[in-house]
Each structure stands twice: as C-alpha cells, then as structure tokens.
C-alpha cells in the first residue's frame, strides 16, 4: 500500500504499525526541512550517530526550492551513497526495523531510506571449530555485510554475485546467496531461490538450521548431514570458485555450502595449505580415522563374543582381567552417554574452571570407575580413542551421525553376532546411497556413480594447476 502525501497521515500510520509509543528504542524526530514538515524514524543503537548528525546538517540547510519532490531532494540534499526511495508501507517498516534511517517529508509520495546502519560486531578472529595449522586466521562474524566483504576480498571478480533475500514472515531475516555466475549450476540456483522464497518459516532464530530444515526435508532416520557448515572465509571462497553456492544468514557466523557430498564434508582447509604429499596424508588419515570411530567398538564387542576368531598375536584384546560387574555392551553404551555428558558440561563450565574440571573428569573419574568395578580399562581406552578421534574431521553433524550408527552397530552385533555386524554395515551403506544432496545427486559421488577422475581429486591432494 503506498504512503500518503500528507505527513501527518504517514507519521500516524508508521507509529501505529511500528508501535512506536510502546518501544523505547524506536525513535522518531519531527523537524522542518526547507519550510516543509518532516520526520525521521530509526532504531536507537543501530545507526551511526556521527553520520546521521552530518546528514541532518544538510537537511537543515536545504532551501524551499530543494524540497519539491523526493528525487530532486535526494540529489541536492542527501550527501550519502546508500539511499533508496520507496512508497510501500511494508518495505518502509521493514527498513526501519532493520536499522535504516527513514525520512518522510510532507508532500513527498515516497519515503527516503538512508542506510547508515551499524551493528554490534566482534572481531574477525579464527573460529574455534575450523582451526588450521597453517593459513589465514580470520573467520566469519555475526554481521552479514562483514561476511560478504571477507569473501569479496578473496574473489575480485565481477562474476561473483551476492543475491540478498528476506526470509521469515516475522523476523524478516536477510539471507545472501553467494556464487560465481559463470560457474554455478543455474538450475540448482533457481531451485534454491524458489525454496528460500517459499520457505514456510516465521523466523530464523536458529539461523541456518531453521532455513535448511524448511528448504530440504529429510528422513528422520537418516542421520548423515546434508550440508557443509564452515566459519572460514577461505573455505567458503574456495567452494564458490568450484561452482558451489554459499548461503549466509544474518546473525550467524557460519556459512552453508551446497551441494555437498560426504567427501566434501570431511575435507579440510589444511589439505590445501600443505604440500600435496602432506595434504594427501592428512586427508586419507581423516577418512581412515572416521571409519575407525564407526567400527572400533563394535569390532571389539564382536571379538569378545568370538575369541576363537582372534589371532594369538591379538589375544590380549579379548582378555579382561579386572573384576567387572557390568556387561561390556552396557559399558560402551554408558560411556557413549557419559562422554556426551562431559562434553555438554564443558560447554557450560566457566573458562577459569575448565582445565581443572577436565583433569578431574578425565583422570579421577576414569580411575575410580575402573577400581569400583563399573568399567574395565579396555572399554575406557577404546571409547577415549573414539571420543578424541571424532574431532579429526571438522563436522559436528557428521560426528554425531557416526555416533548414532556406531550404537546401532553395537546393538545389532550384540543381538545377531557376526551377521548383525555385517547387516549393520550394509544398512549404513544403504543409508548413504539413499541420501541425496540438495541438488539431487548421490551423497557418495564420485564413488557412486563412479567417476575415477573426480574420485582421485577427492582422495588425493593433487598439485595446483598453474598457468604460465
């Protein structure tokens, strides 16, 4: 609905829609510009005071002949670059609530939106979740414009496109799709745009997760992650150059990379910051360790059930000498839960106490657990390996997927012995085959369907191609 030319009606409409009288931080200031009544609307704390004061100096110095219509007034009396005109009531209200300074003038059929926003922002420091041994130390923050700038800084190409959308019927959260126009799959891009625009969500209070769940419905029983999250601008920029799409959500320090296979999720920035032989070793080690975290405890349980299958050299793995009163299966299940309990406790522990409590939890509790007969040393050893090795790959989501499937393998092995273990592996493989990326491709590509050239790139860190 267009705004009225009479300023009193416009002010009354905006005050009513914004409930200005009930919100202390929503400021409106009436004034006279060039002999005409005017009013400024803005959110306290979201505008640059110095810039606003400087702009108001130009407003007060405007002459009557400058204030004839909105277009000429902007050209002569608004010395700022990011200025837009709008006559839509809904858009004007959204702009004000986003932190944009909005000016309405008597007789103007359009409101003037001046983007002098400034959001509270922390420093761009290295993220806790995506650390590298060698490489850049900056990371995404909770401010959308800062995050797009970090990617722009790395890709100085006119093909780089940042398409902004507003998502959420209540929150009106800004979402940006970042891609290279000459590299991206446009069919996938159009499908993503439609899904985001049609997303049936009221707000994105949980940032990307709310959006991803609305965009891509998944089967609840398939725990494998469908997206790759990163807090590193270099990883996001590299993915964009490869033809992927990076989704940024305001108020979130993480970017979502689509489409992604399981090989992409396990991949890390360190693979490319080291020489090819080192990067290949790190990558293959990560694949192998991830596989071990899935099968090591079910394999041990299987060996305990069938000690005659274990070679003499490894008989020590099935010899339990400590007096234990809890079956091995339940020991492993209890330790799975206990490790998560300690992990959750560490997140809520004051930083000054973290080290001391970690020592207590890791050494004292495990020692007393063995001496009291609750657990044996081997159970603690294997679960300690699993819990630590889980951090060898960067995705928490994949880590929990492996955890759930490991428990499934334990249950099947306990109930059906070797056949249960094999059936569990087959079931996991089927879940991975049935899983699809958001583009509809196989989750195991380039293994299934097989593409030898692409699979080599996923397994081996090849040399970068340099044009001379």
- DSSP annotation string for 117-176: B-------PPPSSS--SSS------S-HHHHHHHHHHH---TTEEEEEEEE-TTT-EEEE
Q: Starting at the earlier edge strand, list the strands of the sheet with 173-180.
A: 160-167, 173-180, 245-249, 255-258, 228-230
pLDDT for position 198: 86
Q: How far is CA 148 from CA 57, 161, 253, 319, 379, in A?
A: 32, 10, 11, 57, 47
pLDDT for position 334: 92
pLDDT for position 348: 79
pLDDT for position 357: 66
Phi, psi of 102 (to 5 degrees): -120, 130
pLDDT for position 444: 93
DSSP string, 296-347: HHHHHHHHHH-GGGS-GGGGGGG---S---S-HHHHHHHHHHHHHHHHHHHH
Q: How far is CA 59 from CA 32, 78, 87, in A?
A: 9, 7, 20
What is the model's pTM? 0.89
pLDDT for position 369: 72
pLDDT for position 360: 66
Q: Give the CA angle between residues 269, 257, 241 to the nearest 5°.
A: 65
pLDDT for position 247: 96
Please state the domain extents for the chain. Answer: 7-114, 144-260, 272-434
Question: Splitting the chain (468 residues) into consecutive groups of 10 residues, what average pLDDT does each group show?
Answer: 84 92 92 93 90 89 89 89 91 92 93 89 83 88 93 95 91 92 94 88 78 77 90 94 94 92 91 90 94 95 92 85 82 91 80 66 70 82 90 90 96 96 96 89 91 90 66
pLDDT for position 66: 86
């Amino acid at each position: 609905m267009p705004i009225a030319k009479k300023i009193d009606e416009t002010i009354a409409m905006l005050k009513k829609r914004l409930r200005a009288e009930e919100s202390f931080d929503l400021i409106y200031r009436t004034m006279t510009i060039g002999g005409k009544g005017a009013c400024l609307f803005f959110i306290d704390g979201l505008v640059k005071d110095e810039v606003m004061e400087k702009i108001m100096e130009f407003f007060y110095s405007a002459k009557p002949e400058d204030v004839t219509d909105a277009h000429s007034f902007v050209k002569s009396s608004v010395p700022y670059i990011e200025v837009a005109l709008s006559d839509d009531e809904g858009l004007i209200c959204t702009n004000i609530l986003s932190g944009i300074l909005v000016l309405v003038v008597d007789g103007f059929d359009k409101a003037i939106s001046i983007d002098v926003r400034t959001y509270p922002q922390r420093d761009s420091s290295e993220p806790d979740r995506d650390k590298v041994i060698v490489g850049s130390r900056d990371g995404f923050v909770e401010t959308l414009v800062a995050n797009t700038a970090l990617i722009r800084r790395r890709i100085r190409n006119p093909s780089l496109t940042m398409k902004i959308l507003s998502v959420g019927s209540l929150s009106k959260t800004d979402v940006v799709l970042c891609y290279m126009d000459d590299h991206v799959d446009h069919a996938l891009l159009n499908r993503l745009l439609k899904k985001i625009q049609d997303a049936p969500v009221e707000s994105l209070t949980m940032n990307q997760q709310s959006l991803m769940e609305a965009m891509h419905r998944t089967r609840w029983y398939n725990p494998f992650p469908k997206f790759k999250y990163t807090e590193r601008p270099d990883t996001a920029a590299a993915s964009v150059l490869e033809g992927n799409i990076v989704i940024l959500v305001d108020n979130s320090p993480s970017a979502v990379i689509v489409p992604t296979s399981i090989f992409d999720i396990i991949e890390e920035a360190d693979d490319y910051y080291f020489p090819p032989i080192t990067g290949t070793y790190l990558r293959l080690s990560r694949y192998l360790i991830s596989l071990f975290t899935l099968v090591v405890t079910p394999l041990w349980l299987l060996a305990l059930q069938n000690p005659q299958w274990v070679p003499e050299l490894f008989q020590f793995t099935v010899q339990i000498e400590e007096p234990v009163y809890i079956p091995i299966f339940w020991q492993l299940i209890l330790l799975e839960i206990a490790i998560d309990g300690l992990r959750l406790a560490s997140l809520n522990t004051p930083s000054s106490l973290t080290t001391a409590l970690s020592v207590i939890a890791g050494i004292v509790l495990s020692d007393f657990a063995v001496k009291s007969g609750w657990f044996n040393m081997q159970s603690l050893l294997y679960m300690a390996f699993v819990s630590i090795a889980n951090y060898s790959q960067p995705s928490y989501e994949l880590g929990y997927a492996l955890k759930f499937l490991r428990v499934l393998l334990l249950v099947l092995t306990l109930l059906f012995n070797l056949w249960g273990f094999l059936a569990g592996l087959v079931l996991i493989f089927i879940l991975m085959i049935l899983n699809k990326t958001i583009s509809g491709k196989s989750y195991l590509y380039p293994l299934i369907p097989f593409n030898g050239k692409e699979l080599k790139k996923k397994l081996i860190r090849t040399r970068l191609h340099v044009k001379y």
